[in-house]
């Protein structure tokens, strides 16, 4: 293995646990548990999100969209008379009256450009009014008539519309085959052949998608709640036929995204249209109830996993076949069979994706697309196999750990899954586990423990950045990165301080605007690596320049820039992935069917951890979302109305305080991993891997508690209680 | 067709109210349909109170009304005439952070920060409720209500804070921060 890692996990989060204040200027900024730079703004209410202007202009208008009430068909008429007659209404934009836009790559952004309704909730009009109550009332008064068509929104494994696409999300081939998986499965002495189902899931960041748009002549300025101002900028320029220098996009503080703000969504296009149409600045904040239909969702996935093994647990055949839905207007295929290509050694393997186009909203990214649902299925099947073999589930995974990437044959740049499993087992107290299911009873409760592995690929995009040495001894870093709650500001400042060899408090950092050097979006757990490489390169260059510079700094300071297009584009001959292990302890109430998580542990091998404080928070945050996926989160495509039935946070249950144990019953650890094949910081992405193994670990713990194998999420009482009877 | 849907073009009813916001009287004319949350955010520029759902389901808009925590998205502003409102902007009295604000910084009890103002106001509200002896679902049911303070265990804090959702999953750090203040 090229990486020279130590296997000893260190409890790196002690600062948080013991409430020790972190020194403001550590000897080395990188790797220090630095506090978030914007923390004070966030705890005092001073941090302003997309539509939160300190001084809303007196002529600012408010927009409120009108969703379609049929799942398929055409808009035949939009009657705006009643809406326009209301006091305060400025305009109602319809497919007949809205400004014409350029052709978007994403057909979901062609809002009010045609009369077709591809799914229920598609926007068919936009009310613009003087105040928020006026706008809402105007939208409610718009009357739309439709020529409705029959719709089909129900995903089934044998749907006649199913097809195998060329690629799944992320550019992965839809199908990969190695050897003869079917024959090897048939010949194997021990088998698992199981199907798993995961319902549609919604990102639901706490800040609903929102934008403020203003035109100054031919210049468009937008404040958008987005994971990347850059992509928003490019799309708006194209749609509105503007030069790039005629558009400014700002995403300063963003109230979460989890994939749903990765690319522009309809609200920002509508806000810019409304501002152009009315000649007024416009705020548009989507109502929570609209999000399920218009900002993307995790598509439902149907999995068939077949594992064949020798009696000693050696896998001989791994098959993972996924069926999912996509919309009629844009192909998005959740790449849920992809992690099975990297996880375990097996001479024979088959991984496929099939998609069924339905009259549903277009699915999109939700935290760890592919890995989160795929690893629920694969890691549940591994647990079933361990049971069939009478083998410890940790040991089964260790025995099948591959020496090289099973799919590409490339060596891993670093792979420490076994170390994560071993260290997790030690921390969790796994050695004392009685493997028998359904034997631990505490009154009316059954308890059990489970384990699952996790993986997430190392992704990277080119970025630029600049850094300026200032007269006051400080350094100003500029990069159009986005902090969606990850701590990007802070860790980029740490990278800069480290590369410059200065204290963290002498670095100022400016992010979240297209006025700054071009940079990719916050997604794919790639932000820190992508932006950080450019920041590191610019700071390294500035250090060299300062060393050569004699005399006082010029008036404007001394600046260095970097563009990592070349280095980020090089693909080293390694398979690069982060790995992790999740352990869960649950209690199952035999009277109510309620499952509660008592303990949840994650151990990760994700390169160098650059800020243990914010990293721990992100890992635990991912695990918490995984807990929701396992136990509470569930959306339903209603076949009659063609709509997600769970529209709001009272029906779509994200985990609440009461669902999540306190530290140390929930915690995240990592093994030290040195990997020279990543980026100058040696980091892998950490934003998504926390969710990946959590649902299977919890599901496996429920099996251990009850002896019942549930194969459909979430494990809600209505599903659990009948099975216990 | 259009005539049957036309509503009478009446001007919305408005009233003049005075709210005591973070210690200062604010007199303004409010649309009767406007929520306290929208008036704070759009009319007073106090965007610390967040709009996460507008339905009382997420707690991001939590403020203190006459000392008690409330979802400001569920209160019509016109009905709040004369009340004392404390928002997150008003928690740091005299420029010094409220202990729970400092504890949030110490514990990294936030990520995106959008639920944070509501979590903070909710925590301040629950301190008063527990001090007044108000029971929660997890309080010993045999314990008389209102007689002496309720001890804020982690379980009590989790239960009492459950009206404040955090999608980033900062819950363990939030509970630890609230616990710090009770010690």
- What are A528-562's pLDDT values in tens digits? 999 999 999 999 999 999 999 988 999 999 999 99
Is the dihedral angle over the CA atoms B106, B109, B113, B115 positive or is it negative?
Answer: negative
Q: Is A588 left (phi over 0), alpha (psi -120 to 50) or beta?
A: beta
- Domain residue ranges of chain B, discontinuous segments joined by +: 14-90, 93-182
The model's confidence at residue B9, banded by pLDDT at 50, 70 and 90, is low
Is A18 part of the contact surface with chain B (CB cutoff 8 Å)?
no
Which tokens go with A161?
């519309």
| Residue-level pLDDT at B10 | 66
Q: How many helices (H) and strands (E) does chain A have?
A: 19, 29
End-to-end CA distance of chain A: 50
Spatial distance between the Cα atoms of A404 and A412, rounded to a whole number of angstroms = 6
What pLDDT score does B93 carry? 79
Mean pLDDT of the region A334-353: 98
State how far the Cα of A363 lies from the Cα of A192, in Å rounded to an integer. Answer: 30
HSE at residue B38, side-chain half, CA atoms within 13 A, is 24
Which chain B residue shows the shortest CA-CA distance from A85? B9
Contacts of B2 in chain A (CB under 8 A): 79, 81-82, 143
- The single residue of A52, A379, A673, A688 carrying the catalytic annotation is A688
**Residue A23 confidence (pLDDT):** 37
CA–centroid distance for B178 within its chain: 15
Out of A56, A486, A617, whose CB is closest to B173?
A: A617
Q: How far apart are CA A286 and CA A535, in angstroms?
A: 34
Number of Cβ within a 10 Å radius of residue A197: 17
Q: Do B167 and A658 touch (CB under 8 A)?
A: no
pLDDT surpasses 80 at B12: no
d(CA A453, CA A378): 9
Q: Which domains does chain A have, with CATH numbers?
A: 61-150+204-294 (3.30.365.10), 459-569 (3.30.365.10)
Contacts of B55 in chain A (CB under 8 A): 288-289, 648-650
Q: Do A287 and B89 touch (CB under 8 A)?
A: no
Residue A179 has pLDDT above 70, yes or no: yes
> What does the alpha-carbon distance between residue A229 and residue A251 come to, in Å, rounded to a whole number?
6
Residue A224 scores a pLDDT above 70:
yes
Residue B22: both structure tokens together: 């973070």
pLDDT of residue B145: 86
DSSP alpha helices (H): ranges in A45-87?
Answer: 81-85
Q: With 70 as the cut, is the pLDDT of residue A372 above it?
A: yes
- What is the tens place of the pLDDT at every residue in B91-105? 997 889 999 999 999
* Three-state SS sequence of A311-326: CCCCEEEEEEEEEEEE
The verdict on a CB contact (< 8 Å) between B48 and A44 is yes
CB nearest B60 (choices: A133, A206, A285): A206
What are the CA-CA distances from residue A41 to residues A44, A219, B69, B87, B94 (Å)? 5, 30, 22, 14, 16
Length of chain A: 725
**pLDDT per position as a tens digit, A268-311:** 999 999 999 999 999 999 999 999 999 999 999 999 999 999 99
- d(CA B63, CA B46) in angstroms, rounded, equals 11
| Start-to-end C-alpha separation, chain B | 67
Q: Is A24 on the interface with B (CB under 8 A)?
A: no
Is the model's pLDDT at A14 over the cut of 80? no
Peptide bond into A664 cis (omega under 30): yes
Closest-CA residue of B relative to A23 is B106
The answer to whether residues B61 and B118 touch, using CB atoms and an 8 Å cutoff, is yes
- Over residues A596-618, the pLDDT tens digits come to 999 999 999 999 999 999 999 99
Best probe of the B interface among A16, A35, A43, by most B CBs < 10 A, is: A43
Which of A514, A81, A633, A502 lies closest to B1, judged by CA?
Answer: A81
> Which residue among A45, A622, A657 sits closest to B89, beta carbon to beta carbon?
A45
CA distance A194 to B104: 45
Report the half-sphere exposure of A393 (CA within 13 A, side-chain side). 30
**Residue A19 pLDDT > 90:** no
Q: What is the pLDDT of residue A725?
A: 86
Q: Which two tokens stand for residue A7?
A: 């296997």
CA distance B129 to chain A (A): 18
Given this model, what pLDDT does residue A571 score? 86
Band of the pLDDT at A27, cuts 50, 70, 90? Answer: low
Inter-chain Cβ pairs, chain A and chain B, closer than 8 A: 224
A40, A43, A622: residue with CB nearest B120: A43
Q: Minimal Cα–Cα distance from B144 to chain A, Å?
A: 23
With contacts defined as CB-CB under 8 Å, which chain A residues touch B174? Answer: 657
Q: Which two tokens stand for residue B20?
A: 């005591």
Say whether pLDDT at A5 is over 90.
Answer: no
Residues A58-73 have pLDDT tens digits of: 999 999 999 999 999 9
Based on its alpha-carbon atoms, the radius of gyration of chain B, rounded to whole angstroms, reads 18
Q: Which runs of E-coded beta strand occur in A199-277?
A: 210-216, 219-224, 247-250
- Give A450 or A4, the one with higher predicted confidence: A450
- Best of B29, B42, B111, B124 to substitute, by most chain A Cβ atoms within 10 angstroms, is B111
Distances (CA, A) of A277 to A7, A84, A241: 61, 15, 15
Nearest to A288 among B54, B120, B162 (CB): B54
The per-residue pLDDT for A301 is 98
Contact check, Cβ <8 Å, A621/B116: no
Residues above pLDDT 70, as percent of chain A: 96
pLDDT tens figures, B132-164: 999 999 999 998 888 899 999 999 999 999 999
Owner of token pair 């239960």 = B159
Instruction: Out of A35, A133, A620, name the one closest to residue B172 (CB).
Output: A620
Assess A288–B contact: CB distance below 8 Å, yes or no: yes
* Cβ–Cβ gap A623/B169 under 8 Å: yes
Structure tokens at A289: 């109830």
pLDDT of residue B146: 85
Interface test with A, best of B113, B137, B156, B165 (most A CBs within 10 A): B113
Write the residue in A47, A86, A661 that is nearest to B113 by C-beta: A47
Chain B residue numbers with beta carbons less than 8 Å from the beta carbon of A613 are: 108
Q: Top-level CATH class of B93-182? A: mainly alpha
Give the up-direction half-sphere exposure of residue B80: CA atoms within 13 A in the CB hemisphere: 35
C-alpha distance from residue A718 to each of A631, A723, A724 (Å): 11, 9, 11
Facing residues of A355 across strands?
Answer: A163, A324
A192 closest CA partner among A583, A630, A709, A697 = A709
Alpha-helix residue ranges (DSSP H) falling in A549-605: 565-569
**0.80 exceeded by the pTM?**
yes
Cα A298 vs. chain centroid, distance in angstroms? Answer: 10
Query: Which residues of chain A lie closer than 8 angstroms to B92, CB-CB?
Result: 44
Interface test with A, best of B33, B109, B167 (most A CBs within 10 A): B167
Query: B81 vs chain A: nearest CA distance in angstroms?
Result: 19
B105: nearest CA in chain A? A39
**How open is the CA angle A155-A159-A164, to the nearest 5 degrees?**
95
Query: What is the distance in angstroms between the Cα of B82 and the nearest Cα belonging to chain A?
Result: 23
Interface test with B, best of A15, A16, A32, A44 (most B CBs within 10 A): A44
Distance from CA of B182 to the nearest CA of A (A): 14
Supply the pLDDT for residue A600. Answer: 98
CB A255 to CB B50 under 8 A? yes
Give contacts of A620 with chain B, Cβ < 8 Å: 169-170, 172-173
Give yes or no for A648 touching B (CB within 8 A): yes
Q: What is the pLDDT of residues A137-178, one digit of tens each?
A: 999 999 999 999 999 999 999 999 999 999 999 999 999 999
For residue B89, which residues of chain A lie inside 8 Å, CB to CB?
A: 44-46
Rounded-to-5 percentages of helix, strand, coil across chain A: 30, 25, 45
Residues 346-405 of chain A whose Cβ lies under 8 A from any Cβ of chain B: none
Q: How far is CA A557 from the centre of its chain?
A: 39
- For strands B62-65 and B84-86, give the pairing: antiparallel
Backbone angles phi, psi at A596, to 5 degrees: -125, 145
8 Å CB contact of A81 and B9: no
- Across chain B, mean pLDDT equals 94
With CB atoms and an 8 Å threshold, state whether A133 touches B171: no
What is the mean pLDDT of the segment spanning A415-441?
Answer: 97
Does the pLDDT of residue B124 top 70, yes or no? yes
- Decide if A646 contacts A292 (C-beta within 8 A): yes
For A617, the closest of B38, B154, B170 (CB atoms) is B170
3-state secondary structure of A193: strand
Nearest-Cα distance to chain B for A188, in Å, is 42
Chain A, window 160-179: residues with a beta carbon less than 8 angstroms from a chain B beta carbon: none
Mean pLDDT across the stretch A573-593? 98
Mean pLDDT of chain A: 95
SS3 assignment, position A493: helix
Q: Which of residues 253-282 of A touch B (CB under 8 A)?
A: 253-256, 258
B14-90 in CATH: which number? 3.10.20.30
Cross-chain residue pair A288–B52, CB shorter than 8 Å: yes
Per-residue pLDDT reduced to its tens digit, A430-480: 999 999 999 999 999 999 999 999 999 999 999 999 999 999 999 999 999
Q: Kindly indicate whether the ipTM for this predicted assembly is greater than 0.85, answering yes or no.
A: yes
Using an 8 Å CB-CB cutoff, list chain B residues near A18. Answer: none
CA pair distance A517, A477, nearest whole angstrom: 10
A688 is catalytic: yes
Q: CA dist B75 to A384, A422, A555, B32, Å? A: 52, 53, 54, 11
The beta strands (E) that lie in A624-675 are given as 637-638, 643-644, 666-671
Closest Cβ opposite residue B38 in set A52, A132, A289: A132
């Amino acid at each position: 293995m090229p990486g020279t890692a130590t296997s000893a996990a260190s409890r790196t989060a002690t600062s948080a646990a013991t409430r020790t204040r972190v020194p403001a200027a550590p000897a080395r900024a990188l790797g220090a548990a630095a506090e978030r730079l914007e923390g004070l703004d966030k705890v005092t209410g001073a941090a302003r999100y997309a539509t939160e202007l300190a001084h809303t202009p007196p002529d600012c208008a408010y927009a409120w969209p009108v969703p379609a009430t049929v799942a398929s068909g055409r808009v035949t008429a939009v009657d705006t008379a009643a809406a326009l007659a209301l006091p305060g209404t400025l305009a109602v934009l319809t497919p007949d009256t809205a400004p014409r836009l350029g052709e978007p790559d994403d057909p979901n952004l062609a809002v009010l450009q045609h009369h077709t309704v591809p799914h229920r909730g598609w926007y068919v009009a936009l009310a613009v009014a003087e105040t928020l109550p006026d706008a809402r009332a105007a939208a409610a008064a718009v009357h739309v008539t439709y020529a409705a068509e029959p719709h089909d929104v129900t995903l089934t494994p044998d749907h006649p519309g199913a097809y195998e696409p060329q690629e799944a999300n992320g550019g992965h081939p839809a199908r990969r085959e190695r050897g003869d998986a079917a024959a090897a499965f048939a010949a194997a002495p021990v088998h698992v052949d199981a199907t798993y189902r995961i319902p549609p899931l919604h990102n639901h960041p706490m800040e609903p998608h929102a934008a403020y748009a203003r035109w100054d002549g031919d210049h468009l300025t937008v404040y958008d709640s987005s994971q990347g101002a850059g992509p928003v900028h490019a799309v708006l320029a194209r749609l509105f036929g503007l030069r790039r220098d005629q558009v400014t996009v700002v995403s300063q503080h963003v109230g979460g995204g989890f994939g749903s703000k990765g690319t522009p969504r309809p609200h920002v296009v509508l806000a810019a249209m409304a501002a152009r149409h009315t000649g007024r600045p416009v705020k548009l904040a989507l109502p929570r109830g609209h999000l399920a239909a218009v900002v993307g969702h995790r598509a439902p996935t149907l999995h068939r996993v077949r594992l064949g093994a020798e009696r000693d647990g050696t896998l001989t055949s791994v098959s993972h076949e996924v069926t999912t839905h996509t919309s009629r207007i844009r192909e998005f295929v959740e790449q849920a069979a992809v992690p099975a290509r990297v996880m375990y050694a097996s001479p024979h393997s088959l991984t496929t994706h099939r998609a069924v186009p339905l009259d549903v909203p277009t699915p999109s990214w939700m935290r760890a697309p592919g890995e989160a649902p795929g690893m629920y299925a694969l890691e549940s099947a591994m647990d079933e196999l361990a049971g069939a073999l009478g083998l410890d589930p940790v040991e089964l995974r260790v025995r099948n750990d591959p020496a090289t990437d099973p799919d590409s044959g490339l060596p891993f740049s670093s792979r420490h899954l076994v170390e994560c499993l071993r260290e997790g087992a030690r921390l969790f107290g796994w050695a004392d586990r009685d493997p028998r299911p359904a034997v631990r009873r505490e009154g009316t409760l059954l308890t059990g423990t489970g384990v699952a592995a996790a993986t997430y690929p190392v992704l990277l995009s080119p970025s630029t950045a600049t850094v300026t040495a200032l007269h006051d001894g400080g350094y100003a870093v500029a990069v159009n990165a986005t902090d969606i709650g990850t701590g990007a500001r802070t860790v980029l400042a740490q990278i800069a301080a480290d590369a410059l060899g200065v204290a963290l408090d002498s670095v100022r950092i400016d992010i979240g605007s297209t006025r700054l050097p071009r940079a990719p979006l916050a997604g794919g757990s790639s932000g820190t690596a992508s932006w950080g490489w450019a920041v590191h390169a610019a700071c390294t260059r500035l250090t060299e320049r300062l060393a050569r510079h004699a005399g006082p700094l010029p008036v404007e300071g001394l600046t260095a820039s970097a563009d990592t297009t070349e280095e980020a584009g090089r693909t080293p001959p390694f398979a690069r992935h982060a790995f992790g292990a999740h352990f869960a302890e649950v209690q199952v109430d035999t009277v109510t069917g309620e499952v509660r998580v008592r303990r949840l542990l994650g151990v990760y091998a994700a390169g160098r951890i650059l800020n243990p404080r914010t990293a721990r928070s992100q890992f635990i945050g991912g695990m918490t979302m995984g807990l929701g996926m396992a136990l509470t989160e569930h959306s339903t495509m209603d076949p009659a109305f063609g709509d997600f039935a769970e529209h709001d946070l009272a029906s779509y249950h994200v985990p609440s305080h009461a669902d999540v144990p306190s530290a140390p019953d929930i915690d995240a650890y990592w093994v030290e991993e040195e990997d020279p094949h990543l980026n100058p910081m040696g980091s892998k992405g950490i934003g998504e891997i926390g969710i990946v193994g959590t649902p299977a670990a919890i599901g496996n713990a429920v099996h251990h508690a009850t002896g019942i194998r549930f194969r459909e999420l979430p494990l809600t009482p209505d599903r659990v209680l009948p099975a216990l009877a | 067709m259009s005539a049957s849907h036309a509503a009478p073009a009446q001007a919305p009813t408005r009233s003049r109210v005075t709210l005591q916001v973070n210690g200062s009287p604010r007199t303004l004319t409010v649309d009767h349909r406007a929520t306290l949350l929208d008036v704070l955010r759009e009319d007073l520029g106090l965007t610390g109170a967040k709009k996460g759902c507008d339905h009382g389901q997420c707690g991001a808009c939590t403020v203190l009304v006459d000392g008690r925590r409330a979802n400001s998205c569920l209160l019509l502003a016109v009905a709040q005439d004369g009340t004392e409102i404390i928002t997150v902007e008003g928690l740091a009295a005299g420029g010094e952070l409220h202990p729970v604000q400092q504890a949030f910084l110490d514990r990294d009890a936030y990520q995106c920060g959008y639920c944070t103002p509501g979590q903070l106001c909710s925590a301040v509200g629950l301190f008063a409720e527990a001090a007044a002896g108000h029971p929660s679902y997890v309080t010993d049911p045999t314990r008389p209500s209102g007689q002496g303070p309720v001890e804020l265990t982690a379980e009590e804090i989790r239960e009492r804070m459950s009206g404040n959702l955090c999608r980033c999953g900062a819950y363990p750090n939030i509970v630890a921060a609230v616990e710090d203040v009770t010690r």
